[in-house]
């Protein structure tokens, strides 16, 4: 069955989170783009974004928005009290948690969620033309599989605090005007050094070239969302 094409992932969250409100924490918030859309749609929310990348965290602090707060920190040691949040977000971030710390990160998320609170985990699927490009310099097959395995383990813990309510699979469009934009956005992020040298850059550019058209390069990124609830 073909996957639906979703332009705005916030629509997926809105379908699942039928009673939005309260306090939200995002682990590995990046530039918090989806969170800014959430606060426009649901102005009553109170949002805390955690980020381990010092450069991105500094940029977040320079662009405040009403209802938003940012702190430096990772999912495996959340600087927040117990039962403080109604919703936790992990948007393409669980696979960035060091693999030995993934279980602890999910325990920490359970700790800071209120009973009945929800966890939205959105992870890119290891598949597709865009993935084939990225894996040339940053193969995430192992860590993405580890993220899904960590969720499976958390659901199977003795006396687990988690129950899974739903899953969603969909494609998201991704567009680059040219290879220079791809290089800037995908190969040289502020949070990682992929050790890009000239031969690697040329190899990826050659693989990107067939996708380039008059209006840029168009891809779809397959996504897998898991919607969990913290048991009461």
Domain-wise residue ranges, the chain: 10-125+139-172+222-230
Question: What confidence score (pLDDT) does residue 61 get?
Answer: 95
pLDDT for the residue numbered 100: 98
pLDDT of residue 24: 98
**Measured between alpha carbons, how far is 71 from 170 in angstroms, rounded to an integer?**
31
List of the chain residues with pLDDT < 70: none
Q: Which residue has the tokens 């899904």?
A: 148
Of 90, 88, 192, 102, which is closest to residue 142 (Cα–Cα)? 102
pLDDT at res. 119: 98
pTM listed for this prediction? 0.96
- Dist. CA 143–CA 140, nearest whole Å: 5
Q: Report the alpha-carbon distance of residue 85 to residue 80 in Å, rounded.
A: 9
Q: What is residue 214's predicted lDDT score, i.e. its pLDDT?
A: 97
pLDDT of residue 9: 98
What pLDDT shows up at residue 122? 98
Query: Bridge-partner residues for 169, per DSSP?
Result: 224
Residue 121: name the closest of 156, 137, 97, 138 by CA: 97
pLDDT at residue 102 in the model:
98
- CATH code of the domain occupying 10-125+139-172+222-230: 3.40.50.150
Task: Look at residue 1 in the predicted model and tell me its pLDDT.
Answer: 74
Q: What is the pLDDT of residue 65?
A: 87
């Amino acid at each position: 069955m073909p996957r639906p094409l979703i332009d705005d992932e916030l629509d997926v969250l809105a379908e699942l989170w039928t009673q939005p409100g309260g306090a939200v924490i995002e682990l590995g918030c990046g530039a918090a783009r989806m969170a800014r859309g959430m606060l426009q749609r649901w102005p009553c929310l109170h949002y805390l974004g955690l980020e381990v990348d010092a450069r991105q965290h500094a940029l977040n602090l320079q662009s405040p928005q009403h209802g938003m707060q940012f702190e430096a920190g990772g999912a495996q040691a959340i600087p927040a009290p117990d039962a403080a949040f109604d919703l936790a977000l992990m948007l393409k971030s669980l696979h960035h948690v060091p693999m030995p710390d993934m279980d602890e990160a999910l325990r920490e998320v359970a700790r800071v969620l209120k009973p009945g609170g929800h966890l939205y985990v959105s992870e890119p699927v290891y598949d597709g033309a865009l993935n084939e490009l990225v894996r040339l310099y940053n193969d995430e097959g192992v860590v993405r599989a580890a993220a899904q395995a960590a969720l499976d383990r958390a659901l199977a813990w003795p006396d687990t605090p988690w129950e899974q309510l739903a899953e969603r699979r969909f494609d998201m469009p991704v567009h680059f005007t040219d290879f220079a934009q791809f290089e800037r956005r995908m190969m040289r992020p502020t949070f990682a050094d992929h050790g890009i040298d000239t031969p690697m850059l040329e190899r990826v550019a050659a693989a990107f070239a067939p996708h380039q058209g008059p209006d840029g390069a168009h891809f779809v990124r397959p996504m897998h969302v898991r919607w969990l609830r913290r048991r009461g």
